[in-house]
Structure 1
Amino acid sequence: MADRPPIFALPPGADFPAELVAGLRQRLSGQPPEVMAKVTLILNTQRMRRRVTECLVTQGAVFLPRLMLVTEAALLSDLPLPRPISPLRRRLVLSVLLDRLLATETTHFPRAALYDLADSLAGLIAEMQGEGVPPQRVAALDVANHSAHWARTQAFLGIVTEALAADAPDAETNLRRAVEGLPETWARRPLPGPVILAGSTGSRGTTALLMQAVAGHPQGAIVLPGHDFDLPHEVWAGMDDALTAEDHPQFRTRRLMDLLGFGPQDVQPWTTTPAPDPARNRLISLALRPAPVTDQWLSEGPKLADLLTATEGLTLVEAPTPRAEAMAIALILREAAEAGRRAALISPDRNLTRRVTAALDRWGIRPDDSAGRPLALSAPGRMLRQVAALFGQRLTADALLALLKHPLAFSGADRGQHLILTREFELHIRRNGPAFPTAESVRNWAKGARLDRAETWAGIVADVLCDQEVQERLPLTAFVARHLSLTERLAAGFDAAGAGALWLKEAGEKAFAVMRELQAEAQAAGDLTSADYAGLILGLLNREDVRESEGLHPGIMIWGTLEARAQGAELVILGGLNDGTWPAQPPADPWLNRAMRKEVGLLLPERQIGLSAHDWQQAVAAPRVVLSRARRGAEAETVPSRWLNRMVNLLAGLPDQRGPEALAAMRDRGAGWLRLAQAFDTAPPVEPARRPSPRPPVPVRPRQLSVTQIKTLIRDPYAIYACHVLKLQPLDPLRPEADPRLRGTVLHEILERFLKQGGGDRQTFLALAETVLADRVAWPLARTIWLSRLAKAADAFLDYSSRTGGVPVLLEEKGALRLPGLDFTLTGKPDRIDRLADGRLMLIDYKTGAPPSPRQQEHFDKQLLLLAAMAEGGAFRGLDPAEVARVAYVGLKAQLMVEEITLEPGQVADVWKRFGALMASYARPGQGYTARRALEKAADPGDYDHLSRYGEWEMTDDPVPEAVE
């Protein structure tokens, strides 16, 4: 390898690890086996190292070369390097500095972003070290023409540099020092055999230095991935300006050649194996010409071979929605799995890959996802996040139940009993509250539950989950200790020790490592608020990915774009080919803008686009390729990826080479998969439900209703059937809110207590209201608003209450009256009944909303009129039957609203007679309980609409009576 330039390459589409091994074997053929052990092979990723190892051992027992990663190159140096600072410790130190910066009020950012900003600042410092940019160069920048923000950032970076000067160097600094000293190291201590660096394009400064050192080694060689052998020399020569060529897939190779002192003509094929489809490679190479020379399409396009043949292995899926794209991809992967073909989905869109994974799950196919999933989304990660959230907020019922139902909660002994107790506790807390559980409320429930181990369970829950809110700032060490203690105790459950299943399997082991590292480095941080700590935990867990290997399909993979370099699949699917996704928009840099980065010599944002283009050029050259995109996203039409757009436009503009026919054939193949996906998702035709009107047997029909339920019987009889015949009760919401029902309950209690104590002035009324609100309403904001409304209406209410002309004789007392001739009893509890001066009665009902109009009372809202009939019929204990003179609805909002009706002689008797006729009709077998019979508004929801399948039928549909047993 020393007698010619040490630069080799493999074309796009080549199985890079397999060809790398084949070329290595070819060069060492005829030599003793132990020679292989003297080779040092430096690779770019861990996945590449695994694949190279697989390729080496598939041909039997062999000596393996020394396999290293680029990031491990410091092992090749004999320089005495200090132990690098932990990345986490560096970030914690930076978070302290950022906290102090925020305290100066010279800049503003959300505290929730504290750790994320520390992470990005650590990344900038590492990049400066890797690119050989000293802090003095940033400090020397002239920012006079920039905004004040960048001047403040420059000053802060200077403070950061000074503060970190006494710390140990980071791993990137050590790596660069080691790489810079490699030539001297190798001169003093030569390597025993060849050294080969493969799979990298030298996009990072330290990596490029390492490649220089390898190229200068007498037995050194560099093997580049995805080298475009079809790119003309004049195009190579023209890519000398980063501003115009940085986003080209071969720009990094051109820069590397300049650094090494070679030209593209010096790059030699590593093996003689051709690309899977050389004609397609020429097409892609032309499509990706740098923007200033795309006019070469006109001169070079006609020289291409038949494009219908060149694109036989390409399929273009242009799905209408992301869901359709994911389903089509899943079907393609399913077919590959059934046929035993090795297939890979390559996409930077994690939402797409998750959709595909979910679709494959229905067939029991679990793809081998190289990225895994964020540790924060794993079971241990979720539990750690949920427990951390306890410190920053008052415990709510839904947060408590979410933790109790977590699969790792009480994962020690007797988890079955824990699930039983959790279910019963949930039913209780939904029905009875409180909205904000406390240790006392949990223990009180357990005392009356009469369930096995309930009190032991409640004690654990009360100690671990209740009353954990942290108001003050605490040291990170205290937060971590408390966090781990609570999480492990919750996971252990009934076990006195241990942590249940919290730290088991891949996710548990990774979570344990993260938390123990945080515990070890916590002293580097200052005091935190509970919100700071929750943000820190989320940031830490999101930075880590976990790969769960159990049950993975060996031939179906999901890779990121970097894995395109290590791919060896027969079928490659490039998904999410929309601009903004592939390539992704360069991330915002809060520390240096584009001009400042260019001036100090850091990499421009376009570098990432160029690397993505290089990955795409390699992946699209695989033997069989599916190009996939969704034409519309969640909110708007999408724009095709610039690389896909270039290929489509080039094909469409070459009719003599059958480009339009090739494009149509690609789309036809994709449309076939879309039709299959649509057919797969199309449900068989089902006859829509008809409007129900069930007719249950008379003996099981309700024999008792309250006056408030009569309105429901008139407007939505089906709700009465579901509640009283089927015995189905709607559950209260998981998270109670200060809703109108609670407001009505509280208002009635205030008025009842006020009138029972004999009334009083405004001050007495509002003092009592404040007491009841404090006792019954857990939400401070709701208490304030409701008390304010009562204060505005207080004078008007007191004035009206004193002018009724009567004296209260009954408050919130329940009564019952039986219908003559029917086995039916009507119950009711009037808010207030006054005895007038003439001996007659007045009924008052308090509302928190607007009172019903007289017309509504006549036809639907008969509550007060029915209560009047009950009063005249002697339904209330301690109140002799008497004529009712008036009924009134009193609405208490910000102002008093009164709807009063003076009753005519015989009006109450007529209401009772008509009510009797209504109930007599429901005592007949032929009367059905029609769904949504007479709702005031079609949009009004009902508790049982899902049961009646409303939506499959409309309000204008005729009801269909049906006898039910």
Structure 2
Amino acid sequence: MMTDNPASSHNPSLHDQAVRAPSVYTIGPAHSFVDALARSLLDQYGDQPLALGAIQILLPNRRSARSLREAFLRNHGGRPMLLPRMLAIGDVDEDALDITAPASDLIDLRPAISDTDRLFYLTRLCLQIPENHGRPGSMAAALKLARDLARLIDSVHTERLDFSRLKELVPEKLAHHWQNTLKFLEVITDQWPRLLDHLGQCDPAERRNGLLAALTQKWQTHPPRGLVIAAGSTGSIPATADLLALVARLPKGCVILPGFDRSLDDDLWQALDPGHPQFLMKALLDHMRVSRHEVENWPLVKADQALESQRADRLLLINSALLPAKQVDRWNAISIDHQTAKKGLERIDCDGLSEEAGVIALLLREALDHPEKRAALVTPDRALARQVRAHLARWDIAIDDSAGDPAERSLSGSFLRLTLSFAADPGPINLLALLKHPLAAAGMKPSALRQLARRLDRHESREGSALRGPRPEASIDGMEKAAADAGVDEADLGLLNKIFALLRPLESVLHSPSLAVGDLLSCHLDVAQNLAQSHDQSGADRLWRGEAGEHLAQYLAKARAGIDCLGATRGKDYPAFFHALITDQMVRPRYGMHPRLAILGPIEARLHHVDLMILGGLNEGTWPANPGHDPWASRAMRKDFGLPDPDQRIGQSAHDLVQAMGAPHIILTRSGKVDGTPSVPSRWLSRLEALAPYLDGRKSPMVRLYQALDQPDKIEPIDAPRPMPPLSARPRSLSVTQVELWVRDPYALYARHILKLRPLEDLEAEPGALHKGTIWHQALDDYKRRAIPTWSRDEAYKALIECGKTAFGPLLERPSIWAFWWPRFQTMGRRFLEIEEERRDSHETIATEIRGEWPIHEGPWPFTLKARADRLDRERASGHIEIIDYKTGSPPQKRRIEAGFAPQLPLEGVMVNEGAFNGLLPCAVAGLSFWQLRGTRDPIEIKHVAGHDEQISASRAGFLSLLARFSKPHTPYLSNPRPANTGYGDYDHLARTAEWTRLPDLDDLPMDFNGHEPIKED
């Protein structure tokens, strides 16, 4: 250790330092890096508080600095102490580095441009690209492209490259394509440097390089007198590598590498590829001009030294599994004690992501049953991390997730998005989502808006539904009109109009052809604050509260300050722009998380262990992640330019895996399917399984325990429901269509007419068969009421088309309705008029959409049968009436009519015989006809019911028999008694049909409507 080196009596020169032997150490993966380092320093300096405080420790980032601080306190029993000075060289800060004279006169660093300003300036430059050179089509696309360009700029500065060299990378076959790319990249090669010069600023990566170079230069001439330790860095940034090379040769300096493998032989060392976990450290040592044999083990305390032998076989197993592909033949010569290697090492394979998350949550929860035990999930899979947090919520456990949560999914972020979504696309779904949001108040109590949303959602009246069914016009005016037309209560309509008044300014600006982006953002935030204001709190106080609200407030304030440089855009492009603006903002909780549990990314977990480390999401493409494709250059071009090989990311991920594998207890998990798609195990898992077949993970008892967690102890089958309401509650009036429901599914009639439960239409439902039937019926009814016998064919068709347009109404503006329903209606209309001409001499229409009621006194109690016939035509010769039913779907089959499952037309025949229709005397029935309106190749097909007199007579008797059966108090309303004949209904979920589905005994059932045995469909 470097503590024994005496302080030099003079400041050594650069030459003196260059010839000094480097001090490079390593702490192996068997140890928690930060804990081992803290214990060793406490062991040597624990009784010298001032000496410990004089040490400078250079760490990769702020997270690792925080981990080391916690390690010192943890290993010091939580007692106060003077900590070493810790500097995060990856997140470099000028004040922290303390670059003072005489070094300051050697550098002239401009301030770094803020990330937000850089993003907006690059976006503006992208929007100025000529169309023929790839200008993005919208400001949102330009913003996304600007982020990609910013990453490219940082990569080039990090590697200390010169953009001018891009012009030399012109493969002959790609010369034309590359010239176009170069023309596009002029944004960052020519325009961006000029803009930075004008602003007097520089890129953050360039400034970081400058600060590190300044510190390196200062320490070359004026080395620090105290101990300097560079710990945990792999030197992936060249400027950092330069500093590490200097620190290794300082009089009192040393470098400690994380997890350097000293056991590799020279042949294997030379064969390392970018995907190997040791490749980055090999590159670092080459850069530092340090031989691998000069790297020594860091002096550890005795307790830590014992861990080396305890986990040697496990680490040998993982290191052997990760050998380069060309070296796997060495497996045959490797001697591993698998009994020792598998101690504390498990693998769990799950069926899907949800099961994997549940198993991990169960493992974390189990760890809390052991006092002082710490556990962590280490994964790069954000979906898995979110699901684990959700599963832990069942035990009220809030767990720290180092990656944080997307700000757009927070309470404030979601409210901003919902406000914008409704203003941009007013519709029932967006309205209900906005009204139900906890922040929505509109100057009232928040509960008032949620109650309003519930009333509007369930509202139904004779005029229609307020929000359900086909979507109204996509505007606030359209929504207001739809609510008024649906007969919404006046008080609710007033509240709704108050809310709409707050939202209209945002809707107005979103329809602007051109408006400054800053004005759009200001209007958006003002409207959101006004809508968030409650009866006792301002909108700003409610909208920007909490960690996420504070983060968004600060971020959007910075954005508003610099966004004016973007100029104007179309209002309709703003929603996509706002989403792109906040999509990468993450919120990390500051407090309130569990002290012994955590979710960490592989980078955050690199330098410390906990008692139980669960390495989750070990699927190919997740861990390791796919290197992806560089949108700017091929791999060969990146190499020629000097950018690192993309496979280095795989090597870094492999190093993170090896570091984690040294923890006391390791569990490797993966899911066989992700989003229903089969997944491939991580290459590392496959290699481990090849070396250690016992790591198959398919028989873990923890999976069975998780599956049993929500499994009931006993499942008792239920019988089909047999409700027998009192006679006083049973219906005394039904329509003929409801009688058909009664025959098909008595339980549905019970739910609808006795329990008063009605199925709701879908929100923003696409017009379906029911709407089509209603529209066509209305159009034909309107035409028949207006038709004049003396009209010519053209006049009649014109009138029919006008009736059709009125019946279709706003639906005709929908492309699908215009393209499919309307042409078929026109075709049907032509054939309809031809049939009318053919029937003119033999029939006359005496009524359409006529209502009737038949009071029945033959049963146990008075009952009224109702009907509305589509059309009644009188035969001129006989005076008898033909009953016509329009069908836009398929008419019932003959056998179903005969069996009594489709009694509508026969019962209407009974009512004609009884003179039950308004204004008509009792009359004989000439026929029962279904007119199938298709509008296709055969536009109208007329089907007559054979033996209509017999059907009418049988229906009358069957209906009276049905009344008699259900007048008995013990007759049950069975659910779907004959599903093979009648299908399924809207109330099957209420009857819990799936739990008891079976064919009941016929003795338990009423006979078919007409007394026939059940029939089978063809």
- SS of structure 1 residue aligned to 2:816: helix
Cα shift at 1:147: 8.0
What percentage of residue pairs aligned between the two structures are identical? 33
Segment drifting more, 185-194 vs 407-416: 185-194
Q: How does 1:689-704 map to 2 (within 5 A)?
A: 689-704=718-733
Give the corresponding residue for 2:613: 572
Name the counterpart of 1:788.
823
Moved more, 829-838 or 742-751: 829-838
SS in 2 for 1:590: coil
Structure 1 length-normalised TM:
0.91
Q: Does 1:584 align with 2:625?
A: yes
Paired residue for 1:899? 943
Query: Would you say the 8 A contact 2:605–2:660 is kept in 1?
Result: yes
Of the three residues 837, 848, 858, the one matched with 1:811 is: 848
Q: Distance in 2 between matches of 1:94 and 1:683?
A: 58
Counterpart of 2:86?
Answer: 67
Out of 754, 770, 773, the position equivalent to 2:805 is 770
User: Could you say if the C-alpha distance between residues 235 and 904 of structure 1 is closer, same or farther in structure 2, counting changes exceeding 3 Å?
Assistant: closer
Shift of the 345–962 alpha-carbon distance from structure 1 to 2, 3 Å rule, reads farther
Q: Distance in 1 between matches of 2:917 and 2:560?
A: 68
Please report how far the alpha carbon of residue 601 of structure 1 lies from its aligned counterpart in structure 2 after TM superposition.
Answer: 0.7
Tell me what 1:655 maps to.
Answer: none
Residues 1:413 and 1:820: Cα distance change in structure 2 (over 3 Å): closer
CA–CA separation in structure 2 for the residues paired with 1:729 and 1:255: 72
SS of corresponding position for 2:929 = strand
The answer on whether the counterparts of 1:442 and 1:458 sit within 8 Å (CA) in structure 2 is: no
Matching residue of 1:227 = 260
Q: Does 1:11 align with 2:39?
A: no
C-alpha deviations, 1:826-880, integer Å up to 9, x for none? 1111122233324322222222223334333333222222222222322222223
Alignment of 1:850 with 2:890, yes or no, is yes
Cross-structure match for 2:600 = 559
| 1:949 pairs with 2:992 | yes
Q: Does 1:204 align with 2:232?
A: no
Number of the residue aligned with 2:923 = 882
CA distance in 2, matches of 1:694, 1:961: 13
Aligned match of 1:146 in 156, 165, 174? 174
Aligned pair 1:358/2:385, yes or no?
A: no
Measure how far apart 1:916 and its partner are: 1.7
- Give distance in 1, aligned partners of 2:810 and 2:673: 52
Q: 3-state SS of the aligned residue for 2:369? A: helix
Distance apart, 1:108 and its partner CA: 8.6
Tell me by how many angstroms 1:450 deviates: 5.4
Instruction: Find the residue that maps to 1:315 and give its secondary structure.
Output: strand
Deviates more, 1:490-499 or 1:13-22: 490-499
Q: 2:768 aligns with which of 723, 739, 744?
A: 739
The 3 A distance-change label for structure 1 pair 629 and 411 is farther
Shift of 1:960: 10
Tell me what 2:352 maps to: 321
Shift of 1:172: 0.8
> Are 1:346 and 2:407 counterparts?
no
Aligned-pair CA distance for 1:27:
5.5
Whether 2:396 is the aligned partner of 1:367: answer: no
Question: What is the match of residue 933 of structure 1?
Answer: 977
1:918 aligns with 2:935: no
The answer as to whether partners of 1:717 and 1:932 remain within 8 angstroms in 2 is yes
Which residue identity does 2:291 align to in structure 1? G
Distance 1:147 1:798, change over 3 A: farther
Matches within 5 A, 1:239-250: 239=272, 245-250=273-278
State how 1:42-81 maps to structure 2 within 5 Å.
42-58=58-74, 59=76, 60-75=79-94, 76=97, 77=99, 78=104, 79-81=107-109
Q: Give structure 2 stretches of 5+ with no counterpart.
A: 6-19, 197-201, 789-794, 1007-1018
Shift of 1:671: 1.8
Gap change, CA 1:783 and 1:637, over 3 Å in 2: closer
Shift of 1:723: 0.8
Match 1:330 to one of 361, 366, 371: 361
**Counterpart pick for 1:120 among 148, 152, 164:** 148
1:820 aligns to 2:853 (yes or no) = no
C-alpha distance 770-601 of structure 1, shift in aligned 2 (>3 A): same
Match of 1:505 in 2: 546
Corresponding residue for 2:40? Answer: 23
Is contact 1:694-1:961 (8 Å) kept?
no
Does the 8 Å CA contact 1:39/1:195 hold for their aligned counterparts? yes
Corresponding residue for residue 559 of structure 2: 518
- Secondary structure of the residue aligned to 1:262 is coil
CA distance in 2, matches of 1:102, 1:897: 60
Q: Secondary structure at the match of 2:256?
A: strand
Q: How does 1:123-138 map to 2 (within 5 A)?
A: 123-138=151-166
Measure, in 2, the Cα distance between the counterparts of 1:698 and 1:162.
88
| Residues 1:779 and 2:822 aligned together | no
Deviation at 1:906, TM superposition (A): 6.3
How far apart are the structure 2 equivalents of 1:154 and 1:700? 81
**CA distance 1:56–1:593, change in 2 (3 Å):** same
- Partner residue of 1:160 out of 155, 176, 188: 188
User: Does the C-alpha gap of structure 1 residues 326 and 261 become closer, same or farther in structure 2, counting only changes over 3 Å?
Assistant: same
Question: With structure 2 as the length reference, what TM-score do the two structures score?
Answer: 0.86
In 1, the alpha carbon distance for the partners of 2:268 and 2:602 equals 25
State which drifts further: 829-838 or 952-961.
Answer: 952-961
Contact 1:91 1:122 in 2 (8 A): yes
**Alpha-carbon distance between aligned partners in 1 of 2:493 and 2:535, rounded to the nearest angstrom:** 11
5+ residue gaps in structure 1? 240-244, 653-662
Matches within 5 A, 1:400-799: 400-410=431-441, 414-428=445-459, 431-433=465-467, 435-436=471-472, 438-440=475-477, 445=483, 455-456=494-495, 458-464=497-503, 467=507, 470=511, 472-493=513-534, 497-499=538-540, 501-529=542-570, 532-548=573-589, 551-652=592-693, 663=694, 671-758=700-787, 760-775=795-810, 779-799=814-834
Distance (whole Å) between structure 2 residues aligned to residue 495 and residue 763 of structure 1:
61
CA contact (8 A) 2:459 2:488 kept: no
SS in 2 for 1:355: helix
Instruction: Tell me if the contact between 1:928 and 1:961 (Cα under 8 Å) persists in the aligned partners.
Output: no
Contact (CA 8 Å) 1:693, 1:930: kept in 2 or not? yes
1:368–1:557: 8 Å Cα contact kept in structure 2? yes
SS in structure 2 of the partner of residue 586 of structure 1: coil
Corresponding residue number in structure 1 for 2:8: none
> Separation in 1 of the partners of 2:572 and 2:282?
48
Q: Secondary structure at the match of 2:315?
A: helix
* 8 Å contact kept, 2:424–2:507: no
Give per-residue Cα distances to partners, 1:78-114, cap 9 Å, x unaligned. 3342222222332333334444558437689998754
Q: Which residue of 1 aligns with 2:120?
A: 92
Task: Give the secondary structure class of the aligned counterpart of 2:255.
Answer: strand
Aligned residue pairs: how many?
A: 940
1:423 and 1:857 map into 2 onto residues whose CA distance is 42
Name the aligned partner's letter for residue 367 of structure 2: A
Structure 1 residues 857 and 290 mapped into 2: Cα distance closer, same or farther (>3 Å)? same
How far off is 1:30 after superposition? 6.3
Aligned residue type for 1:737: E
Q: Which residue of 2 aligns with 1:238?
A: 271
Query: What's the CA shift for 1:795?
Result: 1.0
Residues 25 and 688 of structure 1, relative CA distance in 2, 3 Å threshold: same
- The worse-fitting range, judged by mean Cα deviation, of 759-768 and 507-516 is 759-768
